Structures are given as C-alpha cells and as structure tokens.
C-alpha cells in the first residue's frame, strides 16, 4: 500500500531534519555558505540582548539563465550598509546570500540557523529578499494568505489546486522527466519560519512581485515578476521542509492555513498584490525602486521615525516614477512608540549622507565614502568637489569628493587631521553641493516604437534644448519615456483609448495632457511636447535643491488643510531643526498610514514655515500641480517708476527669526486651492537666508496673477524661473571657486544657507 501525501512529506521532513537542515555541525550547508563567519556566532550568542540579526538575499543571475534583473545584489548592499552604520547591526550578525549562493536550501537553512535558532525574545530580526517573485500550484492543505492566493481557472480534475506566492531562488526551476517543478522558496514556508521566531520584532522586506506580466521591461524599468509565469507544482523538497517545520515546532502552528497576518512583526512589500515591483537603472548601477527609496530615506530618519512614515516617504520617492505603491502587512503595531522601522531606533540619532568605508593605508588622507543617503534625484547630477564633514565626536573633518563610482566616492581630506584622524565607520554629512549648470532631460524611446519612428523621434528630440540625451528603453537611467500605445493612463488624464504618442514617466504612466491624436506624425508629436519637456526640466532643476536631510538651516514646514476643516497633513524639519528640538523630545513627523498623503479635490492648503534661526528666512514655493502645470506662490507685482520707465517688482516672502509664517498669507477663498483635477502633485518649499533676487525679478516679468495677495499661479516660463533660483542659491552661498575647486560651469551650494522640502501628495 502506498504512502499518502502527508505521510510522505513527514518522512521527507524527518530525513532532512536528521541529515540536512536540522544538523548544526561544522559540515552543514550553512557553514559551507558563510565559511569562517560561522565560528563567530557561538561567541555572539553571549552578547547582551537585544541582538540584531539580518539575512539579506539578492539574486540577479539564475541557474536557468533566464533573468533580466540587475539591481538585486545592489539591494543587499544598500540594506547591509544601512543596517550596520545607521541601525548598529554588527557585521558578523548579517548573512548575505547573492546569486548562486541563494539556492532554496541555502535560504531555508540560513533562516533556520542564523535567525530562528539564534534569536531570542526581544531581539531584532530582518529578512530581505530581492529577486523574482512567482506563483505555484498548491493544494488546499497548503493554502497561503488571501493576499497571495488566486483561484485557478482549471478543470474539475484540478479544482482543489490554487495559486500561491513564492520567491524564486537561484535554482528555482528544476528539470524533471515529466513536467518541470518550481523549486521555489514558498511564501507559506517564509510565514512558518517567521512564526517560529522567539521574537516579535521581525521585519520581512520583499522587493519582488507575484503578479504575472508579459513584458520584462515596464517603460524604462525592469519587472521583478518571474518571466516564466506558468504555474507549476512545488518541488517535493520544498514541501518537505514545510512539513519539517510543522513537526519541529508544533506549538507554534494552528490548523489554520499560514497567512501574512500571522507574522509576528511587519512585512514591507515593494508593491500591492496585483501590481509589479520594478527596478531602475541609476548612475552606473541598478537597484530596486522600493529598496533604494526606503534605504535612502532611512539614512536621514529621526529617532521618532515609524514604519508608517518610512513607507510614506518611500512612496514619495517612487510615485513620480511609476504607479508602484508599497504595502504594509503583518501584525502592524498600532502605537507609534512600538512601530519603529526595523523595531529599533537609528543610532546615532543624527542622520547622515554616508559613511567612511576605507582609508588609504599609506597616506591616511584618501578616503572611500559610501553615499547611500543622498537623494536619488540629486545623485544623478552630483559632481566632484562637493564637500562633506566627518563626524568625529570631537569636531568635524572636511573632505572633498574627488571621484564617483556608482554609490561610492573617493575623497581627500581638506584639513590636517593631526590627532583627530579619520576612522572607518565614521558618518559623513554634506556641507557643500556641487551641481552642473548644464542639465538636460534624458528621454528613453519606448520599445513599442518601430525603427522609422525611432529615427524620426531621435531626430526631432535632438533639436530640443531641454533634451540632453536620447536612449533606447532599458539602456540606462532616463527621466521620461517617449511612448506609443495605450500605456497606463494617469488618473488625471481625460484622453480616450487608442494608439497615440505621448510623454510617460519612466514606469510607463502617461503624463496628463501629453497624449496626441491617433494619426499624429512623430515629429509633430515631439514638437507638441516641447512645452511639457521644458516644464519637466524645470521640475528636475528644482528637485536638485532637495536637501531637508542635510540642511543646517533650523526651519520646519507643516502642510495642512485650511478649509473646509482644518487639520495637519504632514510635518517636515531639517537636520538642524531636529537637533535643536531633540532635547525637548519634540516629534514633528507623524503618520499612521503607509500611503501617500491624499487630499480631496477643492481643498484649500496652507504651508506653515517655522524659523528657529537668529536671522530672517526667505521662502519660495514652486512645483508641479496634479495635471503637470508648473506653479509658484507669489504676490502680484508692484509697479515702480524708474529713470528707464516703469518696472515691476515682487516683495520677498520673509519669516522673521523665532516666528512662524502661514502661506498663503491672504485668506482669500481662492488662494491655495487645489484645482478640480486628480493626480500626483510635487511641491518644493525652498528657504534661504538671503532674498531670491533673480528669481523674483524673473517672476515679475511674467503675467501678473489676478486678485489680491499671494496665490498659486501657473508659470509660463518655468525653466527661466528654475535657472534663476539655482543662481540665487549659488550667489547666496558665496563660495570661492578657486578655493573650493569648482568651475564656472558649476553651481556651488552651501547647506548652511538653504533648505528645500519636497512635498509629494495625491489629489483624489
């Protein structure tokens, strides 16, 4: 008589328990993976609680050779550097598995031995996976969470099978004599492992997606959904490992199917259940859109940071590129005090742009810096000769950036270190930002375009001054996509269906009011898009000033709704402001949802700027509204008589020392209103300790806004306004080109002189 399925799996599990996963001798797979590091864990067990343990998995290369991914191993590096230098994880407590190391058995074993066997109550555990996600066929007894289970459209013979989410390891596809099986790391297995932990402080970060997609390239971004979506049965070994867990830890499991909500901690998922996770090419490297956004923000996170706020801030960095929206699952804490990201506060409490990772042994004055904390939009244009301060504890050493490679840079000490020499692991903070004056848009050509269309588009785009480079989709980092087809229509778009030329985000979302007629010629379409391209370049230039994390101006910004019912939407502060208010235990960053801030159409907004410095602060508000129009907040100009005739001038918006100013200052019912269109708005609130002389002069040349007082006005010449703004910040910084080493082709901005808050919200 043959064995039934459950008996077979139990025996397989017991076999693995005695000869494989359950064996913790020096010859186990785990020891073979991490080698000499395994010996350190014995002594680490005696370390005082809470310990911080992490298992980071990233897979770009698969045994099948069928992979288009390039940024998963980078994700592991992003997380590792962050956990070590910002959250005080010890290097020996972090295990990384990349590419061929990350087999299914290796992942299961490392989780079991490194995380489950070592963690105790109160410890902190982080598991990160970047790679392909997929789905497998499972029977009813192995049903997964409702979020990842989809009934299959099958015949009666297989009616009891359903699809379940899975993480694809390096050896995910196994050839067999019959049909191939999926040797995946099953979502149910991950849930069971997490439930077996002794600690509730568990974070699972999943930068992958399970939604099948036909195209590996989504706009200019790469999909992390498996390119082989055909549903297959899990391998017997994968199921046997599950059964082993049930036998070994029976008290941990109920008879109910494993679900994400049972995880004793939180799951940070890169995207919603029915969407695709994406990765982006950046400056010489690729990384997951979600992982890069999350880790970049956390380099600046304050002690009061929560997991809700972390996902919101990640969303603000992601949504202008695509419609990818992170998701928070698991047993999410309801009290902010217990909802800290990774269940631990960042240390030291002051944020940073990066860390010293190497020092030249001969001279001791050449350093290697890891700079994962610089905003992604800024990093694309960041130049050498920028300066950083090393936090030594007894003062600050200044270094000058000499070269850049991906996310690292070589830097030279400017000061004589004497007794205060630099050390490995010291955090670095930006002091001077060098940016190029010549900045243009990189436009990618959609792979849906035919050859003749690509030739015509390249020719037409090359004649537009706002465009600096034209590439094929997927080649390198781009700002926007010249696309053809239905695309993903933005919520604020009123265009109908059909095949049209349009301008899209790099994630393939058609930008509002950029889709043309179905019979439009390529060159006509490009010429029609010139105003939109200039507006988007202006927005790119404004974005280069974003520095709330590094600014030394002690200012804060609060966005709220004035009407119909007053309440606060978001609160932001600079690094200097946070340092001044930390002794008061003042926390300005509060959020209880992981999504973008949503604002009803027709709401009247207000911005409150608090100046805690000893000198006046001048404020300028610019950005893109939900339909892509460039806007600014300013007063109607005043006409003055001069020797050369009449001259229009604008009054500065000034915040006196130790005071708070509300914008718009006028209480008119029209000022500050969100127009009747839905979509994503991106606003820069820019503060400076000197007037915006050139910017106000440029604004005064534009058509005067109607009505009284300050109000949001659509800009007709946004690119000229953006260039004037950068020139004002450069002039105010007053840095000497010869001393600092920058050229006349650069802007040099001193972080002590300005602060830019970037606000992203969705109008619904």
Distance CA 617, CA 639 (A): 25
> What is residue 419's predicted lDDT score, i.e. its pLDDT?
67
Neighbours of 344 (CB within 10 A): 17
- Which alpha helices (H) appear in 50-103, and where do they start and end? 72-85
Three-class SS string for 14-32?
HHHHHHCCCCCCCCCHHHH
Contact 444, 482 (CB under 8 A): yes
Confidence of residue 731 (pLDDT cuts 50, 70, 90): very high
Neighbours of 419 (CB within 10 A): 5
Residue 332 has pLDDT above 80, yes or no: no
- Report the predicted TM-score, pTM, of the whole model to 2 decimal places: 0.89
Q: Is 488 helix (H, G, I), strand (E, B) or coil?
A: strand
CA distances from 46 to 40, 41, 50, 444, 736 (A): 11, 9, 11, 54, 54
CA distances from 510 to 282, 320, 492, 502 (A): 21, 11, 10, 7
Extract the runs of DSSP E, i.e. beta strands, from 105-190.
124-130, 133-138, 149-151, 162-167, 173-174, 181-182, 185-186
H/E element, 355: strand 354-359
Beta-strand pair 480-485/441-445: parallel
- Residue 43's Cβ-count burial label (10 Å; 0-12, 13-18, 19+) is exposed
Distance CA 266, CA 268 (A): 6
- Residue 270's Cβ-count burial label (10 Å; 0-12, 13-18, 19+) is buried
Least confident of 220-234, 243-257, 564-578, 744-758: 243-257
pLDDT tens-place string over residues 165-218: 999 999 987 655 567 788 999 999 999 999 999 999 999 999 999 988 878 899
Q: Is the dihedral of CA 116, 117, 118, 123 positive or negative?
A: positive
187-215 residues labelled b (16+ CB within 10 A) or e (exposed): bbbbbbbbbbbbbbbbbbbbbbbbbbbee
User: Which tokens is 158 given?
Assistant: 């297989």
Contact 170, 99 (CB under 8 A): yes
Q: Closest by alpha carbon to 577, among 590, 591, 567, 588?
A: 588
Residue 3 has pLDDT above 80, yes or no: no
> What is residue 362's predicted lDDT score, i.e. its pLDDT?
77
Distance CA 114, CA 45 (A): 11
> What is residue 432's predicted lDDT score, i.e. its pLDDT?
97
Contact 247, 194 (CB under 8 A): no
> What is residue 155's predicted lDDT score, i.e. its pLDDT?
39
Confidence of residue 704 (pLDDT cuts 50, 70, 90): confident
Average confidence (pLDDT) over 634-654: 77
DSSP assignments along 642-701, one per residue: ETTEEEEE----EE-TTEEEEES-S--TTTTBPPS--EEEEEEEEEESS--HHHHHHHHT
pLDDT tens-place string over residues 508-520: 999 999 999 988 9
Residue 26 has pLDDT above 50, yes or no: no
Residue 16 has pLDDT above 80, yes or no: no
Contact 246, 14 (CB under 8 A): no
> What is residue 675's predicted lDDT score, i.e. its pLDDT?
64
Q: Directed axis angle between helix 289-298 and helix 307-318, to 10°?
A: 120
> What is residue 595's predicted lDDT score, i.e. its pLDDT?
84
> What is residue 393's predicted lDDT score, i.e. its pLDDT?
64
Confidence of residue 229 (pLDDT cuts 50, 70, 90): low
Q: In what order do the strands lie in the sheet with 480-485?
A: 467-472, 441-445, 480-485, 500-504, 509-510, 488-489
Neighbours of 349 (CB within 10 A): 13
Residue 6 has pLDDT above 50, yes or no: no
User: Which tokens is 23 given?
Assistant: 């064996």
Contact 695, 728 (CB under 8 A): yes
> What is residue 41's predicted lDDT score, i.e. its pLDDT?
33
* Higher-pLDDT residue of 153, 247: 247
Least confident of 69-83, 443-457, 569-583, 584-598: 584-598
Confidence of residue 256 (pLDDT cuts 50, 70, 90): low
Contact 251, 292 (CB under 8 A): no
Q: Residue 163: beta bridge partners? A: 137, 150
Residue 668 has pLDDT above 80, yes or no: no
Q: How far is CA 16 from the centre of its chain?
A: 39
Average confidence (pLDDT) over 215-222: 92
Contact 102, 58 (CB under 8 A): yes
Average confidence (pLDDT) over 115-144: 85
Distance CA 700, CA 394 (A): 48
Residue 695 has pLDDT above 90, yes or no: yes
pLDDT averaged over every residue in the chain: 84
* Higher-pLDDT residue of 517, 533: 533
Give the whole-number percent of the chain exceeding pLDDT 90: 61
Distance CA 654, CA 620 (A): 9
Average confidence (pLDDT) over 747-754: 97
DSSP state of 230: -
Extract the runs of DSSP E, i.e. beta strands, from 544-635.
555-563, 567-573, 597-599, 604-611, 617-624, 630-634
Report residue 394: phi and psi, to 5°.
-125, 20
H/E element, 271: none
Residue 152 has pLDDT above 60, yes or no: no
User: Which tokens is 418 given?
Assistant: 């004497």
CA distances from 643 to 532, 640, 646, 647, 651 (A): 38, 10, 8, 10, 21
Average confidence (pLDDT) over 71-93: 97
Confidence of residue 142 (pLDDT cuts 50, 70, 90): very low
Half-sphere exposure of 712 (CA within 13 A, CB side): 23
> What is residue 1's predicted lDDT score, i.e. its pLDDT?
43
Neighbours of 661 (CB within 10 A): 16
> What is residue 665's predicted lDDT score, i.e. its pLDDT?
86
- Residue 641's Cβ-count burial label (10 Å; 0-12, 13-18, 19+) is exposed
pLDDT tens-place string over residues 55-66: 999 999 998 887
Contact 158, 111 (CB under 8 A): no
Q: Is the peptide bond before 277 cis (omega within 30 degrees of 0)?
A: no
> What is residue 51's predicted lDDT score, i.e. its pLDDT?
94
Confidence of residue 305 (pLDDT cuts 50, 70, 90): confident
Residue 28 has pLDDT above 60, yes or no: no
Query: In sequence order, which residues have a C-beta less than 8 Å from that of residue 92 and are 6 or more positions away?
Result: 37, 40, 41, 44
- Residue 738's Cβ-count burial label (10 Å; 0-12, 13-18, 19+) is exposed
């Amino acid at each position: 008589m043959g064995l039934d399925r459950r008996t077979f799996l139990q025996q397989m599990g017991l076999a693995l328990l005695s000869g494989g996963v359950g064996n913790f001798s020096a010859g186990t797979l785990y020891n073979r993976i991490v080698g000499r590091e395994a010996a350190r864990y014995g002594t680490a067990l005696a370390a005082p609680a809470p310990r911080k343990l992490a298992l980071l998995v990233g897979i770009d290369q698969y045994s099948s050779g069928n992979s288009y991914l390039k940024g998963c191993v980078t994700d592991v590096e992003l997380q590792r550097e962050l956990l070590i230098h910002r959250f005080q994880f010890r290097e020996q407590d972090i295990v990384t598995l990349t590419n061929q190391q990350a087999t299914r058995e290796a992942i299961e074993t490392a989780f079991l031995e490194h995380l489950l066997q070592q963690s105790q109550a109160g410890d902190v555990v982080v598991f990160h996976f970047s790679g392909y996600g997929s789905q497998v066929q499972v029977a009813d007894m192995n049903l997964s969470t409702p979020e990842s289970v989809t009934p299959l459209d099958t015949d009666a013979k297989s009616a009891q099978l359903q699809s379940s989410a899975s993480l694809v390891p390096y050896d995910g596809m196994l050839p067999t004599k019959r049909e191939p099986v999926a040797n995946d790391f099953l979502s149910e297995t991950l849930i069971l492992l997490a439930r077996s932990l002794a600690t509730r402080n568990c974070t699972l970060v999943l930068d992958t997606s399970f939604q099948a997609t036909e195209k590996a390239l989504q706009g200019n971004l790469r999909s992390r959904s498996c390119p082989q979506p055909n549903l297959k049965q899990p391998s017997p070994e994968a199921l046997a490992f599950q059964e082993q867990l049930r036998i070994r830890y029976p008290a941990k499991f109920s008879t109910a199917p494993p679900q994400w909500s049972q995880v004793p901690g939180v799951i940070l998922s890169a995207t919603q259940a029915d969407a695709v996770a994406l990765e982006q090419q950046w400056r010489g490297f690729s990384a997951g859109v979600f992982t890069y956004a999350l880790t970049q923000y956390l380099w600046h996170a304050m002690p009061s940071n929560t997991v809700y706020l972390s996902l919101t801030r990640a969303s603000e960095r992601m949504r202008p590129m695509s419609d990818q929206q992170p998701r928070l699952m698991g047993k999410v804490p309801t009290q902010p005090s217990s909802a800290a990201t990774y269940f631990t506060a960042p240390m030291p409490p002051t944020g940073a742009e990066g860390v010293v990772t190497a020092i030249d042994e001969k001279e001791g004055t050449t350093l290697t810096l890891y700079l994962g904390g610089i905003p992604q939009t800024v990093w694309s244009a960041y130049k050498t000769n920028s300066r950083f301060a090393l936090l030594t504890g007894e003062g600050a050493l200044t270094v000058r950036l000499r070269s850049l490679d991906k996310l690292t840079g070589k830097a030279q000490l400017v000061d004589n270190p004497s007794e205060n020499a630099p050390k490995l692991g010291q955090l670095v903070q930006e002091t001077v930002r060098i940016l190029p004056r010549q900045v243009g848009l990189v436009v990618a050509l959609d792979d849906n375009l035919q050859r003749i269309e690509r030739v015509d588009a390249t020719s037409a785009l090359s004649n537009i001054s706002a465009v600096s480079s034209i590439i094929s989709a997927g080649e390198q980092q781009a700002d926007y996509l010249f696309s053809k087809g239905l695309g993903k229509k933005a919520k604020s778009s009123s265009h109908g269906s059909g095949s049209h030329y349009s301008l899209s985000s790099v994630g393939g979302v058609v930008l509002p009011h950029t889709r043309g007629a179905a019979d439009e010629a390529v060159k006509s379409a490009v010429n029609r898009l010139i105003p939109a391209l200039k507006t988007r370049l202006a927005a790119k230039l404004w974005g280069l000033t974003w520095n709330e994390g590094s600014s030394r101006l002690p200012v804060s910004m609060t966005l709220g709704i004035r009407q119909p019912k007053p309440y606060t939407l978001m609160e932001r502060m600079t690094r200097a402001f946070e340092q001044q208010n930390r002794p008061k235990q003042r926390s300005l960053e509060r959020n209880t949802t992981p999504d973008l801030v949503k604002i009803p159409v027709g709401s009247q907004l207000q911005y409150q700027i608090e100046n805690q410095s000893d000198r006046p602060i001048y404020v300028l508000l610019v950005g893109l509204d939900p339909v892509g129009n460039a806007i600014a907040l300013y007063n109607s100009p005043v006409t003055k008589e001069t020797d050369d005739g009449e001259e229009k001038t604008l009054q500065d918006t000034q915040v006196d020392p130790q005071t708070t100013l509300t914008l718009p200052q006028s209480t008119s019912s029209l000022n500050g209103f969100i127009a009747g269109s839905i979509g994503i708005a991106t606003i820069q609130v820019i503060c400076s300790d000197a007037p915006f002389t050139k910017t106000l002069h440029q604004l005064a040349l534009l058509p005067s806004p109607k009505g009284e007082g300050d109000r949001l006005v659509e800009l007709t010449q946004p690119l000229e306004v953006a260039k004037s703004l950068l020139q004002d910040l450069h002039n105010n910084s007053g840095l000497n080109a010869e001393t600092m080493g920058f050229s006349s082709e650069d802007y040099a901005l001193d972080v002590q002189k300005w602060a830019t808050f970037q606000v992203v919200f969705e109008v619904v």
